[in-house]
Structure 1
Amino acid sequence: MIEQFAGPRFRLAFTCRFLEGEPMFVRVFLSAAAGLASVLVLQHALAFPVEGVNTSLPVGTELDDDAVDQPREQFHSEAIEGQKSYLVKLGNMAFNTPAILGGTALKGDVSCGTCHINGTSNGKLFIPGLAIRPGSFDTSSALFNPKAENFVLDPVRVPSLRGARFLAPYGNDGRKESLRDFVRTVIVDEFSGPDPAPAVLDAIVAYIEDIDFLPNPRITIGGKLAVGASASERRGEALFKKPFPHDAELSCAGCHIPSAAFVDNKRHDVGSGGLYKTPTLLNANFNAPYFHDARFTTFDQVVDYFDRSFTLGYSAQDRTDMVAYLKAIGDATQPYEHITTAILLQDIFDFASTLGTAIQAHDNGIITLTVAAVGGDLGDLMDRIPEQGAPGVSGGEKERDAARNALKEAVAILERVGSNAIAGKYDEAAREYQNYNHFITVEVQPAVSRAEPWSLLNPPVHDAHYAALRQQLVAHHRLPAESAAK
């Protein structure tokens, strides 16, 4: 059954060809490009369509990488300057490729963007043995780095990175003051990735710091409720600011300061057995689960916990009002968007645009990273356009074939960009990069657009295809029957 998926097989073959027979290339690949020591997205084909089947990840893993909707991402640089910088584009690309991570993550096609989809939290992420509930993750597990194992199941909530530049210290326990140090720790110590090249690490930090909170018209710039708030929300706001009955120096607003992104940039013990940093409440409606260990799934549970733990004496109405207030300040405009081929191609274009600067600078490390990452993204897009004979998909065979062939050719052109650069033929690499941009515009975009109605971005096609694939896995005894209905 797996043999029918030519897209991932092609991507694997592409990367293997790209690596073979070039000792200097491999050295550059490892050091300057943040350790792209293995093949690109090694077993994505085997993970498809059910994560954990024949991969390094446990059966039952949910990465939500086949979703048809995604969190909307807003960049500060685009709002201020109208476009993202080279460094932000490079960081966004590195953040979303498994190539910067090591071992199990690389083999399982896990990137930073797997846990933090479009820079926010992945509330559906679930890896058996590393989580208590979706949206949590044990960073001290041997699965991703044996050296990190502490022999305790202690998952933490996967946080959103929106507004991260305002939210130091970093980590749920606030163990790092520097975002740069924290990012390096995650890559090297938690996922056993090679030490990132300084330029790559700087770029990832620049990308994270560029992710803005989504706008929320229900609050003002200073964090106060805007005109039009309900009476219940107003009462909740007053409760939020009210001193606690048994300690007049404490209040919700004392830690979640409304005028400071609802944080105080400090760590506190809130009765859970340790010091944890104050999380922001902005856009929190879309960041469940809640609490540092992801124990709560709703605001009601959070309010109930603090009511009991700090003897606040809330009435039923008080709890209702507090939840109403939290939902108001945690809201956002257009939090999700439907994924389209145009959106995916725009990301691919942004990532590939780093080649212009890298080729001019003769930076083989960045060229290699870009070729590998963009090649993988083109292959992922190919996976979204099922080939002929794919279970549960009918119609549009001609359009699907044309789109898949165009994507394959785009990857081949990228391969020539990288090979020429490694050989020191930078003029040839630049010409091939121009050919790539022309081909993407003239051939790939129209072909992929025509095939979109029969792609996995179309919800009915998506659902029918995955239902058929799961049934095949059950029939081949590779998936428990109860999982087929999921």
Structure 2
Amino acid sequence: MRTLRLLLPVATAALLGCIGCEETPPNPSAAPINRDTPAASASVATTAAPLPPMPKAEPIPATPAPLPELKTPAENPLTPEKVALGKQLFFDKRLSKDGSASCETCHVPEKGWADGEKLSKKVDGNLNTRHSPTLWNVGYNDLYYWDGRSPTLEKQIEAAWKGQMSADPATIAAALAKIPEYLVQFKTIYQSDPTGDNIVKSLAAFVRTIRSGGSAWDKFEAGDKDAVSESAKKGFEIFRNKAGCAACHAPPLYTNNGFHNTGVGFDKDVKEPDLGRGKISKNEKENGAFKTPTLRSATTHPPYFHDGRAATFEEAVDFMLAGGIDNPNRDDRLKKPVKLSKAERDDLLAFLKALEVKADGFERPKLP
């Protein structure tokens, strides 16, 4: 039986503010985003002075090989203008309650679209209960949050915006409506003043363009035989055969978007382990299961697992090779540890490194 061996997610989930940080779900009684009514007072901004010209948007980046084309919701198609607006909003601290945080606070490009922290802090000062995951290829997810409780990226962003950034969407929308350079973009794209709904749609559009592909390994598979080392080539064979990693981290996304129990959080001294997917599905067999992360660019965003326990990528790999932590629901493929020689382990790590794409030098947008 092959043993899945790589870095199962075990992290947090609140997106955009912390697309992946895990926060307490917002109060159900709180006012929902008004999806129809433009922000109050926006008309003042539109009549006070002529709007500036609509800024020119860059083309949407091409899908890097060998990733599949994105499947976007019919109600939120990608357009260059929407992506450009979402990019500005992503880096704008005015989207938080007190102006202290933006989506970038928990998802820094140079940190692999994560934040490097074991657990991130919310605007209200409280720590999240799970680690911030990367945004690499998040647009290919089937479900969102580490426990899969959100069915769409838009819904996750909405929840995280409120919970992570303590934002009141109507208040933020009204504030953005007073900024002419923002207002002209909303009116052009949505034929509307800013609303909580179209702010969320813009953010989701940008986040879907954060993709990891075109790595050294991809170039090798496309025919460039010198793109990777001999060690990486050997490592791929170990990855898909002896280590059995491909059972849950299959190409080209290097994730099956499933939920698996690796035992993270089931340490002997833990009295109440995080039930993860089981708490959402109400299926006891899924207790302790968390979403399988992509291994594309996984080397760029330590620490690892939903509790941030693994400080380095190598430590996370070793944890998986050792079979995780025993518990009643541990994945069957982890029950027999994989024993690799030092050379084999080095080869496996070389292959995983060859899947890396970095966002170093990412150009931030100029904010209105």
TM range (shorter): 0.5 to 0.7
Q: How far apart, in 2, do the equivalents of 1:253 and 1:268 lie?
A: 14
Report the more deviating stretch, 160-169 or 201-210. 160-169
Which residue is 2:360 aligned to?
A: 336
For the Cα contact (< 8 Å) 1:167–1:280, is it kept in 2?
Answer: no
Tell me the CA shift for residue 115 of structure 1: 1.6
Tell which structure's C-alpha radius of gyration is larger.
Answer: 1
Secondary structure of the corresponding residue to residue 149 of structure 2: coil
For the Cα contact (< 8 Å) 1:168–1:179, is it kept in 2?
Answer: no
Tell me the CA shift for residue 119 of structure 1: 8.9
Which residue is 1:253 aligned to?
A: 246
For the Cα contact (< 8 Å) 1:268–1:275, is it kept in 2?
Answer: yes
Q: How far apart, in 1, do the equivalents of 2:110 and 2:140 lie?
A: 15
Q: What letter is aligned with 2:360? A: Y
Segments of 4+ moved more than 6 angstroms: none
Q: How far apart, in 2, do the equivalents of 1:183 and 1:95 lie?
A: 11
Which residue is 1:381 aligned to?
A: none
Q: How far apart, in 2, do the equivalents of 1:199 and 1:319 lie?
A: 47
Secondary structure of the corresponding residue to residue 62 of structure 2: helix
Tell me the CA shift for residue 76 of structure 1: 7.6
Tell me the CA shift for residue 144 of structure 1: 3.0
Instruction: Give the alignment's Cα RMSD to 1 decimal.
Output: 3.4
Which residue is 2:257 aligned to?
A: 265
Tell me the CA shift for residue 224 of structure 1: 8.4
Q: How far apart, in 1, do the equivalents of 2:261 and 2:290 lie?
A: 6
Is the helix fraction higher in 1 or 2?
1
Q: How far apart, in 2, do the equivalents of 1:113 and 1:166 lie?
A: 20
Tell me the CA shift for residue 155 of structure 1: 4.5
Q: How far apart, in 2, do the equivalents of 1:319 and 1:291 lie?
A: 20
CA displacement, residues 62-112 of structure 1 (integer Å, 9 cap, x when unaligned): xxxxxxxxxxxxx981337xx97211111111211122222xxx24x2100
For the Cα contact (< 8 Å) 1:76–1:210, is it kept in 2?
Answer: no
Secondary structure of the corresponding residue to residue 322 of structure 2: helix
Secondary structure of the corresponding residue to residue 116 of structure 1: coil
Q: How far apart, in 1, do the equivalents of 2:359 and 2:208 lie?
A: 19
Which residue is 2:225 aligned to?
A: 227
Question: Number of aligned pairs?
Answer: 244
Tell me the CA shift for residue 243 of structure 1: 5.7
CA displacement, residues 370-421 of structure 1 (integer Å, 9 cap, x when unaligned): xxx52xxxxxxxxxxxxxxxxxxxxxxxxxxxxxxxxxxxxxxxxxxxxxxx
| Consecutive unaligned residues in structure 1, runs of 5 or more | 1-24, 33-74, 126-133, 245-250, 349-372, 375-486
Distance change (3 Å), C-alpha of 1:76 and 1:288: farther
CA displacement, residues 421-444 of structure 1 (integer Å, 9 cap, x when unaligned): xxxxxxxxxxxxxxxxxxxxxxxx
* 1:293 equivalenced with 2:272 (yes/no): no
CA displacement, residues 247-268 of structure 1 (integer Å, 9 cap, x when unaligned): xxxx210111112x11101111
* 1:209 equivalenced with 2:234 (yes/no): no
- Greater RCO (Cα-Cα under 8 Å, separation 6 or more): 2
Which residue is 1:100 aligned to?
A: 95
Distance change (3 Å), C-alpha of 1:120 and 1:178: farther
Which residue is 1:77 aligned to?
A: 60
CA displacement, residues 133-164 of structure 1 (integer Å, 9 cap, x when unaligned): x433346xxx5348xx6xxx665332222322
Tell me the CA shift for residue 324 of structure 1: 1.3
Which residue is 2:107 aligned to?
A: 116
Q: What letter is aligned with 1:28? A: S
Q: How far apart, in 2, do the equivalents of 1:96 and 1:186 lie?
A: 15
Tell me the CA shift for residue 120 of structure 1: 6.2
For the Cα contact (< 8 Å) 1:100–1:194, is it kept in 2?
Answer: no
Which residue is 2:31 aligned to?
A: none
Secondary structure of the corresponding residue to residue 232 of structure 2: helix
Which residue is 1:277 aligned to?
A: 291
Tell me the CA shift for residue 207 of structure 1: 0.9
For the Cα contact (< 8 Å) 1:256–1:264, is it kept in 2?
Answer: yes
- The alignment-based identity, stated in percent, is 24
Q: How far apart, in 1, do the equivalents of 2:351 and 2:316 lie?
A: 13
Q: How far apart, in 1, do the equivalents of 2:88 and 2:132 lie?
A: 20
Q: How far apart, in 2, do the equivalents of 1:157 and 1:225 lie?
A: 37
Matches within 5 A, 1:265-414: 265-273=257-265, 274-309=288-323, 310=334, 311-329=337-355, 331-332=356-357, 335-337=359-361, 347-348=365-366, 374=368
Q: How far apart, in 2, do the equivalents of 1:176 and 1:26 lie?
A: 26
Which residue is 1:200 aligned to?
A: 199
| Consecutive unaligned residues in structure 2, runs of 5 or more | 1-37, 46-57, 64-77, 170-194, 266-287, 324-333
* 1:169 equivalenced with 2:143 (yes/no): yes
Distance change (3 Å), C-alpha of 1:84 and 1:270: same
Distance change (3 Å), C-alpha of 1:158 and 1:323: same
Distance change (3 Å), C-alpha of 1:99 and 1:218: same
* 1:135 equivalenced with 2:117 (yes/no): yes
Distance change (3 Å), C-alpha of 1:271 and 1:87: same
For the Cα contact (< 8 Å) 1:167–1:265, is it kept in 2?
Answer: yes
* 1:28 equivalenced with 2:41 (yes/no): yes
Secondary structure of the corresponding residue to residue 217 of structure 2: coil
Tell me the CA shift for residue 214 of structure 1: 5.0
Q: How far apart, in 2, do the equivalents of 1:136 and 1:197 lie?
A: 30
Q: How far apart, in 1, do the equivalents of 2:106 and 2:255 lie?
A: 23
For the Cα contact (< 8 Å) 1:121–1:135, is it kept in 2?
Answer: no
Which residue is 1:391 aligned to?
A: none
For the Cα contact (< 8 Å) 1:115–1:121, is it kept in 2?
Answer: no
Which of 109, 123, 128 in structure 2 is aligned with 1:144? 123
Q: How far apart, in 2, do the equivalents of 1:328 and 1:137 lie?
A: 28
Report the more deviating stretch, 199-208 or 235-244. 235-244
Secondary structure of the corresponding residue to residue 306 of structure 1: helix
Which residue is 2:179 aligned to?
A: none
Q: What letter is aligned with 2:258? A: K
Using structure 1 for the length normalisation, give the TM-score: 0.44
